[in-house]
Amino acid sequence: MENHKLKILIAAAEVTPIAKVGGLGDVIGALPKALKKLNLDARVIIPFYGAIDKNKYKIELTGKNIKVGDDSIDLWQTTLPDSAVPVYLIEHGLFNGREIYSNALADDASDINKYLFFSNAILAGLKAINFRPDVVHLNDWHTAAAAGLLKTDYQNDQYFKQIKTLYTIHNLANQGPAGQNNYMAEGILNADLVNTVSPAYAEEILTKEYGAGLEKILAKRKKRLYGILNGIDTDFFNPETDQFIKQNYSGKTLEKKIVNKTALQGRLGLPPDKDIALVGLVTRFVWQKGVELITKKFAKLNCQFAFLGTGEKSCEQALLKLAHKYPAKFKVLIKFDERLAHEIYAGSDIFLVPSRFEPCGLTQMIAMRYGSIPVVRATGGLKDTVISWSDSLLINLSASGEGARRVKATGLTFENFNSDEFYKTLETALEIYYHQPKVWRQLQLNGLKQDFSWKKSAKEYLKLYKKLLSKTRRRTPKTN
């Protein structure tokens, strides 16, 4: 195995920037590049959605009329922008729609056929292009069925005999549309190894509170369940070189960050004021993200809010109502806008992530990279990535001498999913911001120093891939 270049096929419903809805796309867009730097042959396969821009991404036909059961597909190919990572796209009438998912949660019944077919086509496509990976790395329920198919329909085909599967859970709450089968559960049961996107979430999902009904099934795979923190694209999210923001800055020139704040106020029509704290939030407006904790009481706080995202209508409406009532305090933009997202990271002082649950969460890491202090709920990946102010105080109180004065925190966290707790935590953040500028600066610098690069995560994935190949367990099909 030593001289063998590991071959990995990463299958998913999204890949940034070609087809992105949320964090899943960001992971699939970044992980293979980082794996390539570790000398792996990593490739990506996604559906060829109608929304994908064929010319912009220079997508070319590589295989016609490839059989998938009684049906057939065409296979297209390109590379991830700024890389040599091959991306395969499966063309079929099922994917022609303009939207990636049929609704904000990808759980519309029409998505079942679409992704079940995709899961099958991944394997059929592989053989057609003669790429035989060591590992097929499946992500979320959209691709989960492939793990079972390898043990059933494809079981006797020599081509697939040695292939192992890793199944990554990005979000346990989306299990595939209700029907006879629970694809999430099947992925968990049938994959050779399973992981999720942070160590804390890997433990949480074994409990009833976070298990989304699958805690017992997960318990069966406990020995084969891992937690690997996602990284962020530290080149794309870099305040020193970011092309989207008005003023570049670094840890050494943090005072320049303020230029981005006033620019953002101007752009959003918030009252210009360089001294007021600006609080940002960029997210999908869905149940998971807990934005309903932001109530009209928050208008009492001495700060301005800038929110960006799209999602469920009810969530969007509640926030728009706040903006309507308090136009000088809240700006709410219902859209997907990469540039504005960067402007909010760079222009905000504080960044909110009040999630009910959070498998990993990427925005809190991006915020820290831009010197915006995260105020987050202590759950899942948020707990793993934000060093909490209150823990830091405890460390400091118990330490003596120099250590006692050193602040280690990178943000503030609250424990319970509760609007008052969230409010008080944000209030504490604002107190530090207004009255302890040196401590604030320290928090910012602590955040900027964190290593959230994909290199670290990719090395963890490499370990899992190797673990898979050192196992020669016989596979027997399982259903839930």
Q: Which residues bind ligand GLC (CB under 6 A)?
A: 22-24, 27, 170-171, 197, 230, 358-362, 381
* Distances 360 to 129, 355, 428 between C-alpha atoms, Å: 34, 11, 24
Contact 364, 343 (CB under 8 A): no
Nearer to ligand GLC, 166 or 432 (CB): 166
Nearer to ligand GLC, 349 or 358 (CB): 358
- In angstroms, the CA 362 to CA 409 distance is 18
Contact 413, 229 (CB under 8 A): no
Compute the least distance from the CB of residue 318 to ligand GLC, in Å: 20
Compute the least distance from the CB of residue 363 to ligand GLC, in Å: 9
Nearer to ligand GLC, 230 or 444 (CB): 230
Nearer to ligand GLC, 198 or 265 (CB): 198
Contact 212, 388 (CB under 8 A): no
- In angstroms, the CA 15 to CA 59 distance is 14
Nearer to ligand GLC, 133 or 231 (CB): 231
H and E: helices and strands count for the chain = 16, 15
Contact 366, 237 (CB under 8 A): yes
Which amino acid would we find at residue 461? Answer: Y
- In angstroms, the CA 466 to CA 38 distance is 13
Return the exposure string of 33-59: e unless at least 16 CB atoms fall within 10 Å of the residue's CB, then b. bbbbeeebbbbbbbbbbeebeeeebeb
Compute the least distance from the CB of residue 359 to ligand GLC, in Å: 4
Q: What are phi and psi of 388, to 5 degrees?
A: -75, 140
Contact 426, 301 (CB under 8 A): yes
Compute the least distance from the CB of residue 293 to ligand GLC, in Å: 17
| Token pair recorded at residue 443 | 């928090």
- In angstroms, the CA 315 to CA 421 distance is 20
Query: Is 127 assigned a ligand-binding role in the annotation?
Result: no
Nearer to ligand GLC, 169 or 407 (CB): 169
Burial class (CB in 10 A: 0-12, 13-18, 19+), 222: exposed
Compute the least distance from the CB of residue 10 to ligand GLC, in Å: 13
Compute the least distance from the CB of residue 382 to ligand GLC, in Å: 9
Nearer to ligand GLC, 200 or 429 (CB): 200
Nearer to ligand GLC, 92 or 356 (CB): 356
Candidates 19, 15, 48; CA nearest to 33 is 15
Candidates 121, 134, 130; CA nearest to 162 is 134
Q: In the beta sheet, which residues pair with residue 91?
A: 74
Compute the least distance from the CB of residue 100 to ligand GLC, in Å: 13
Compute the least distance from the CB of residue 317 to ligand GLC, in Å: 22
The residue whose Cβ lies closest to ligand GLC is 23
Compute the least distance from the CB of residue 376 to ligand GLC, in Å: 12
Radius of gyration of the chain (CA): 23
Nearer to ligand GLC, 58 or 456 (CB): 456
First to last CA, the chain: 34
Annotated binding site for ADP-alpha-D-glucose: 20
